[in-house]
Structure 1
Amino acid sequence: MMIDPNDISFHTGAPAGVDRVNMGVPSLKGRNLRISLKQWRMFHAVIDSDGFFGAADSLNVTQSTVSHAVAKLQDQLGVPLLVLNGRKAKITDEGRILLERSRLLVRHAIELEKLAENLRQGWGSEIRLASAPIFPAELLPLALRKFSLSLPKVKLRVRQATHEQAKSALHNNTVDLAITTQMTEGFVGNELIKVEHVAVAHPASVLFALKRDITSDELRSQCQVVISDIDDYVATEASYRLSLFTQVWNVSSLDLAFRVLRQGIGYAWLPRHEVQQALNENQVRILPVVGGSTYTTTLYLLHARSVAPDTVTGKFAERLQTCSRCYQENTRAPARAELMPDPACCDDVEQH
């Protein structure tokens, strides 16, 4: 049987004289849990829909149903959440304080239901990961495969995200781990891997016809192919690596970037692990750039506030760190014919 989050209730108040910070959350034994998640969801809808009418429409209920639920919520709490200004409902200071906490409550209830569904289907915990597009994607299934030897029913859900998207997801508690190009204040994290980028172009590019090192001014005269949503290159110091050109061709994927380059158009700064095969097959070549043809971007693994080292997510993060470290060491080897992770490289850390 599925859990209906609307049937779950709780009481927000703390008994007089109880200090939650110093004494912890008091026991709920014997307490009457009076406020339902349905009431909180209607309160959220009023805020998100800018009024009772919009809330009723979004929830597919009558306006009087929403008004009654919010009025009852305020009575039970004993504090005003909203004040009416004509037909507009304005949130109070008390309402603002309770808004984010109650959103977190509803999210946790939904996650609890999803966990129950995973268990019903034979799965265990779900790990939600936001990953920078430049992270070597082959490391994720490798880390999960090694990790699953001890916990075979873990489910991994991955989505690509820029730093700002990952930061927002961490704050909203919609991911457990984030691989991103910057540390984020308020979240624990560690350096995960350094990604090398190379300046590449088609072998028939006019830039190679110069037969010498290419200056930044000469690069500016050419079209730069940029993959949208890859935001790491803007952090580099050299101006010719920045998106400051009159000729910029934005594409949505690495595949499209290759298609443009194969036509002999422009150049691009791309992760070496993504272009190594094309380099081996002479589909693209590394440009001899004054000041260097490569640069590196550091990626960090950030933990959501709820992730502890002894949890499933914490242990997976440890395994991912190990695989990434081994991959990094392999890519430093002189021979770069293949940049594929060694399946045995994750075996040097004891399985938990």
Structure 2
Amino acid sequence: MSSSPRVTQSSIRTRTMASLQRNLSKTQVAQDQISSGKQLKRPSDSPTGTVTALQLRGEVRANKKYSANADDAVGRLGTVQDTLGNSLELINKVRDLTLAAISDGGTTSDANAARAAELEQIKGTLVQFSNSKYLDRPVFGGSTPDAAAYDSNGAYIGEEAGETLRAIGPNAKVRVDIRGPEAFGNDYLVDASGNYVDASGNAVADADRVANPTQLFHVLDSVISAMKTGDYTALNTGLQNIDKASDQLKSTLSDVGARYNRVTQMKQSAEDRLMSVSSQLSDIEDVDLPKAIMELQLQQTSYQAALAATAKVIQPSLIDFLR
């Protein structure tokens, strides 16, 4: 013969209070989710969801960094692109003036003197272009910490080695700088003693430097000098060097344009991926507000019903009357 377990007022009261507490806890959870907007507040809420959320957060940070790097690359390459385009327009003007001087037979004249004066002004403008800056750093100076890539005479004073790279995607880096000699031609450097040397550090005689003006500003100097002296042969040589300088600028501009396009494409890709990952993260972390509100209302209704039922089940005892 089995006996039923004895049910006392104390056991009823204990079980009832435990049930009320569980119901109240669920109400509190629903209320916290609505107030915070998050369904994950601690790893114990969803261990697998927490791991996935951490992975997605890492990807969000990476794509934000890629997008920021792409913005910087677009700014730098855009500055270089605009500068080279403006420089090419001036080079075309230089070519027209040189052709006009050659058409005059290379003789010294007031017209050639005026052309030479105009070329000097154009050279000054081109030197300013060569010192164009982005975020207060010369874009043609390599990694130089100085404020200029070229001195007032058009001599390159920037860094000869090194590249400035930006990570714009997973395992994707792009160079965002152009050193002056790559755009404006090979230049003779000035060493610590003030002597001209080539890129290998070998001394260059003044006569050789003048006779081999491979750099744009040296070319301009030779053309200006030829115009002033009426040297027809030097003007023809200068015209050929101007065409070479123009071709080099065009080639550099094409390379920069290709890099610019790649950066903009990678930037769009990073932003699209960021949007996708952020949506996935929201699905895991963020609460479904309508569902949470319905859950809160359900728990509140359940709690009120439990309170009403408890009031009927737990009747006042003799002790309650003696209090």
* TM-score normalised by L of structure 1: 0.17
Bigger relative contact order (CA 8 A; separation at least 6): 2
Structure with bigger gyration radius: 2
More strand by share: 1
The structure whose residues are more often helix, as a share, is: 2
